[in-house]
Amino acid sequence: MADHGLQQLIAPLSVRRALSGKNILITGASGFLAKVWLAMILHQLPETGRIYVLMRRQGFASAAARLNHLLNTSPVFGPLHESGKLAGVIKGRLFAVEGDVEAGCLGMDPLTCNQLLGEIDLFIHCAGVVSFDADIRQALGVNVEGARQVGEFVRASKRAKLLHVSTCFVAGMTDGEIPESLEINQSPSGAPFDALDEIRHLRNEITSVMERHNEPWMIERAQSRAERAMARGAHHDRSLEEQTAHEQRRLLEQDMTSVGMTRAQILGWPNSYTLSKGMAERVLARMLPRERLLIFRPAIVESALRFPFPGWNEGFNTSGPLIWLLGSWFRFFPGGATVPFDISPVDEVCRGMGIAAAALLRGEHPLVAQCGSYHANPLSVGRTVELTALGHRKYYRQHGENWVERWVLSRWDAAGADEDHALSVPRLRLYSHAAAGSLKGLSKSGPGWLRAPASSLAKSLESGERNLAKIDRMLNLYKPFINDHRQIFRTDFLLNTAVEEPEWRFDPMSIDWAHFWMDVHMPGVRRWCYPELLGGKLETIAPAQPVSVREWSIAAGEAAEAAQ
Amino acid sequence: MSVYFSPMEQSAAPSLVYSGTPSAPVQPVRLAIFRVEGVLLRRGVLSASAYFAANSAGFRERLLRLGGVALTAPMAVLTAQNDRTMSNRAAWASLRGMSEDRLRVLGEEYAGGVLPNAVLPGGLDWLRKARADGFTVIAISENISHAVGPWLSSLRDVDEWRCNHLEIRHGEATGRLKDPVVGGHESGEWIRILAREKNADLSRSRVYASAGPDLLLMSRVGFPCAVNPDFTLRRAATESGWPIMDYNS
């Protein structure tokens, strides 16, 4: 592996040349990041070799059907459809491969697996569970076992190199500058750590939790919860048995989440997501030689700045819920004003991935490449809260549905506050709980004329408290990233790598945060993420000429070769 | 402060700039300088600073800042006839700690929502006329760039504009105006430097102004014009025989 700093002085990196003719296998293509990367590669690098997209079958939908659905409905591919290029760039080049990252040989049929083992040059592993408080079985299965299976595939392959997409937040609950390095035998808390031992430990924990949940007292607990739910009139459509099974599943999930969160915090990670990602990095670093592995760590990935179009976003990722919350009557945001908020537009991250992939293919890569913006162009949580308040102000002044939104809510600026603030969420919950309790008392023993209104108000307050509890839970999940730790992720590799093609240059310095946040990201979140949160319908595209890809098979490969 | 030229340097400066062959003289330009407050717009500095203060981030902050602006009002009245540097500084001091992002957004709002209703159409007519007559049109304002910049940039007939600038540090206003502050007695020096930079003939230039502190500026040009003048300027204009225009009422 060459010294990449020295290499800079010799020649700038050409992403185009490095990826030219290379066969690529991608996982996680139904996710936000990988989908944009796929679209970018199709759009900007028609010289690459075949691109295989590994996808799971879902019910009756085969991998090819799922990929075709993505290509023909996701707005990411809209500009490619509009330019009329998509059919041309995918013909004989893009293939769906049915599989499952958690299974041996990635769940592919043996023939396909054998052929791909000899054919793949670059493996982009993006698949992962990104929920902060995922059930540990899922996090361990997809993020750790999935990475291990990917590592096995790469190790067994003829020449494949792996770009493993992780996260900067594997740094855990630490402060200060986070270098682009990996302590394989240490957890963020500084304790000795062995990823394989940890897998065994977690599996044991999972087994013991499963056993506990099969004990009679746990079943009784689920039953009594089900009876209470039925008595409240919830879930009319379920029988008691169905409701009991539902409660059992919920209790089990809660415990599994708690196992992951507790274990993560003991080891110095804030949640099960970062724990599992940290474990995956260590597993891969042990399995693969350095020349075949690059761990790519993006920080927080947000809306696109330019590609596929400004504001493109999907799902409800990190800042979405916070933006929504600050656009409501909620005012005091528990974020440290000077805490770094390291976000990057998704297209900037994809360019970083392109550079990292090219360096990996040329053997000029480090083991870890971080991709963020704060190192070069700082943005703090405090400024983000201010920009969000101003963005909402602009929106409500122009598009407010009534005078309250236009005149009051537009001026209802959010502000940073600590947990002890008189109007912080925990305090509001407390007030709400106390008031509901008093009103309940009044509804039972107060004067007759007061009982009905008191009871109704108590119910409203209880419902409000439930909503506040949800917000509190959400904020607690985000707190490590927006309040508790002051982390600056160094991005030396990407910043110092000179790139020949302007469209592939990594340039976080050029981002004007005010413009990005208020004019690109917030409108993007409103358009593409709010519907998911508020139960609306997500926009899709309906191209005049839908495209179709085939599932990979030897025959399909031969036909593609013949066509070329 | 800007670099001023000494009288000796001034006298040494050529009155004509030669380009190409030495025998091809370039005609000096004629300037038409418009004071924004009172000539192009009805609203002044206090209106803008009050708008910014009233739209601060929090309710407590709004009250405090508005209080600060209110305290500067008497000072503005007292110094209106003379040097306004002090009152301008005081008016904007209340914005100390306001984020640059907020200044930018509020400035856009102020320029797009408040200023269009405060335009003096007569002023814009004179602006157009000056441009049509071949003058280089320059607007000067005591307001900060965030408040009037977007509006002035949208005026097609203005070639250049000059205004006050809030000092920004670490993304927040310090509450101080950058030197030199527009609205004081430095305007006489400023126009001399401007004339030199632009190769302008001040004897054939015009100034349209509305307040006493502009007297020095007006006295430098061949064609000063008092527009909606205050007491001091009206008296000086009358005594000097300068034209007076009233289109405020």
Percent of chain B with pLDDT over 70: 88
Q: Does A415 reach chain B within 8 Å, measured CB to CB?
A: yes
Q: Span A168-190, mean pLDDT?
A: 95
**Of A228, A311, A229, the residue nearest A36 (C-alpha):** A311
B144 pLDDT above the threshold of 80: yes
The reply to whether residue A397 touches residue B58, judged by beta carbons under 8 angstroms, is no
Per-residue pLDDT band for A424 (boundaries 50, 70, 90) equals confident
The residue behind tokens 């099969």 is: A214
CB proximity under 8 Å: B 154-183 to A: 171
Q: Does A519 reach chain B within 8 Å, measured CB to CB?
A: no
Inside any domain, residue B62: yes
Q: Span A427-455, mean pLDDT?
A: 84
Q: B171 contacts in A (CB within 8 Å)?
A: 383
The reply to whether residue B101 touches residue A413, judged by beta carbons under 8 angstroms, is no
User: Across chain A, what does the average pLDDT equal?
Assistant: 91
Q: Which domain holds residue A357?
A: 4-186+270-317+342-381+490-523
Other Cβ atoms closer than 10 A to B74: 10
CB proximity under 8 Å: B 72-131 to A: 99, 101-102, 104-105, 109
**Of A249, A251, A227, A250, the residue nearest A238 (C-alpha):** A227
Cβ-nearest to A411 among B55, B101, B104: B55
The reply to whether residue A514 touches residue B104, judged by beta carbons under 8 angstroms, is yes
Inside any domain, residue A535: no
Q: How many domains does chain A have?
A: 2
Inside any domain, residue B119: yes
**Domain match, A64 and A156 both:** yes
The reply to whether residue B99 touches residue A393, judged by beta carbons under 8 angstroms, is no
Per-residue pLDDT band for B24 (boundaries 50, 70, 90) equals low
Per-residue pLDDT band for B44 (boundaries 50, 70, 90) equals confident
Q: Span B53-68, mean pLDDT?
A: 92
pLDDT at B2: 36
The reply to whether residue A514 touches residue B55, judged by beta carbons under 8 angstroms, is no
In chain A, whose CA is at the least distance from the CA of B113? A397
Q: Which domain holds residue B147?
A: 7-245
pLDDT at B134: 94
Per-residue pLDDT band for A487 (boundaries 50, 70, 90) equals very high
| B181 or B226, which is more confident | B226
Per-residue pLDDT band for B164 (boundaries 50, 70, 90) equals very high
Inside any domain, residue A459: no
- Token pair of A384 as six digits: 């983000």
Query: Measured between CA atoms, how close is A382 to chain B, in angstroms?
Result: 10
**Domain match, A169 and A223 both:** no
The reply to whether residue B171 touches residue A514, judged by beta carbons under 8 angstroms, is no
pLDDT at B119: 93
pLDDT at B23: 53
pLDDT at A352: 98
The reply to whether residue A394 touches residue B105, judged by beta carbons under 8 angstroms, is yes
CB B136 within 8 A of CB B159: yes
**Of B139, B159, B164, B149, the residue nearest B111 (C-alpha):** B149
CB proximity under 8 Å: A 381-410 to B: 383, 386-387, 389-390, 393-394, 397
Q: Does A122 reach chain B within 8 Å, measured CB to CB?
A: no
Q: Which of A207-211, A332-336, A351-355, A427-431 has the lowest mean pLDDT?
A: A332-336
Inside any domain, residue A92: yes
**Domain match, A37 and A115 both:** yes
Per residue in A236-254, pLDDT (tens digit) is 677 888 888 888 999 999 9
B9 pLDDT above the threshold of 60: no
Q: Does B248 reach chain A within 8 Å, measured CB to CB?
A: no
pLDDT at A440: 84
**Length of chain A counted residue by residue:** 564
pLDDT at A75: 96
Inside any domain, residue B1: no
In chain A, whose CA is at the least distance from the CA of B55? A411
Cβ-nearest to B57 among A397, A415, A518: A415
pLDDT at B221: 94
pLDDT at A532: 84
Inside any domain, residue B2: no
Inside any domain, residue B217: yes
Per residue in B196-217, pLDDT (tens digit) is 999 999 999 999 999 888 898 8
Cβ-nearest to A386 among B55, B102, B109: B102
B192 pLDDT above the threshold of 80: yes
pLDDT at A124: 98
The reply to whether residue A413 touches residue B57, judged by beta carbons under 8 angstroms, is yes
In chain B, whose CA is at the least distance from the CA of A389? B57
Inside any domain, residue A411: no
Per-residue pLDDT band for B17 (boundaries 50, 70, 90) equals very low
Percent of chain A with pLDDT over 70: 95
**Domain match, A11 and A66 both:** yes
Per residue in A258-288, pLDDT (tens digit) is 999 999 999 999 999 999 999 999 999 999 9
Q: Does A421 reach chain B within 8 Å, measured CB to CB?
A: no
Query: Measured between CA atoms, how close is A339 to chain B, in angstroms?
Result: 15
Inside any domain, residue A240: yes
Q: Does A514 reach chain B within 8 Å, measured CB to CB?
A: yes
CB B140 within 8 A of CB B182: yes
Long-range (24+ apart) CB contacts under 8 A made by A194-202 are A195/A144, A195/A279, A195/A282, A195/A283, A195/A286, A196/A283, A196/A286, A198/A267, A198/A279, A199/A140, A199/A144, A199/A145, A199/A279, A199/A283, A201/A263, A202/A136, A202/A140, A202/A259, A202/A260, A202/A263
In chain A, whose CA is at the least distance from the CA of B104? A514
Q: DSSP of A545-562, one letter per residue? A: S----EEP-HHHHHHHHH
B30 pLDDT above the threshold of 50: yes
Burial of B196 (0-12, 13-18, 19+ CB in 10 A): middle
Q: Span B112-135, mean pLDDT?
A: 93
Query: Measured between CA atoms, how close is A521 to chain B, in angstroms?
Result: 16
CATH of the domain at B56: 3.40.50.1000
Inside any domain, residue A20: yes
Per residue in A377-417, pLDDT (tens digit) is 999 999 999 999 999 999 999 999 999 999 888 988 887 77
Sequence-distant (≥ 6) Cβ neighbours of residue A261 within 8 angstroms: A133, A271, A272
Cα B209 to the chain's mean position, in Å?
A: 9
In chain B, whose CA is at the least distance from the CA of A417? B58
Query: Measured between CA atoms, how close is A390 to chain B, in angstroms?
Result: 7
Cβ-nearest to A389 among B57, B104, B109: B57
Q: How many domains does chain B have?
A: 1
What sign does the CA torsion over A115, A116, A117, A122 have? positive
Per residue in A292-349, pLDDT (tens digit) is 999 999 999 999 999 999 999 997 677 888 898 888 888 788 888 889 999 999 999 9
Q: CA angle A189-A192-A195, nearest 5°?
A: 100
**Domain match, A263 and A291 both:** no
Inside any domain, residue B28: yes
Other Cβ atoms closer than 10 A to B37: 25
**Domain match, A98 and A44 both:** yes
Inside any domain, residue B105: yes
Q: Span A538-546, mean pLDDT?
A: 92
**Of A357, A388, A385, A352, the residue nearest A507 (C-alpha):** A352
Per-residue pLDDT band for B6 (boundaries 50, 70, 90) equals very low
The reply to whether residue A514 touches residue B101, judged by beta carbons under 8 angstroms, is yes
CATH of the domain at A349: 3.40.50.720
- Token pair of A204 as six digits: 């044991």
pLDDT at A303: 96
Inside any domain, residue A423: no
Q: Span B180-187, mean pLDDT?
A: 82
pLDDT at B40: 95
Last residue of a domain, one of A229, A246, A267: A267
pLDDT at B22: 52
Q: Which of A35-39, A107-111, B12-16, B221-225 has the lowest mean pLDDT?
A: B12-16
Cβ-nearest to A390 among B58, B105, B171: B105
pLDDT at B12: 36
Q: A386 contacts in B (CB within 8 Å)?
A: 57, 99, 101-102
Q: Span A341-370, mean pLDDT?
A: 97
Per-residue pLDDT band for A560 (boundaries 50, 70, 90) equals low
Q: Does B64 reach chain A within 8 Å, measured CB to CB?
A: no
**Domain match, A99 and A136 both:** yes
Most confident of A131-145, A309-323, A347-361, B41-55: A347-361
Q: Span B181-198, mean pLDDT?
A: 86
Q: Span A180-188, mean pLDDT?
A: 95
Cβ-nearest to A383 among B104, B109, B171: B171
Inside any domain, residue A425: no
Please report which residue ranges of B16-160 form alpha helices under DSSP H: 45-54, 59-79, 85-93, 100-109, 121-132, 145-153
Distances (CA, A) of A71 to A39, A65, A67, B170: 9, 10, 6, 45
pLDDT at A555: 67
Q: Does B63 reach chain A within 8 Å, measured CB to CB?
A: no
Other Cβ atoms closer than 10 A to A242: 12
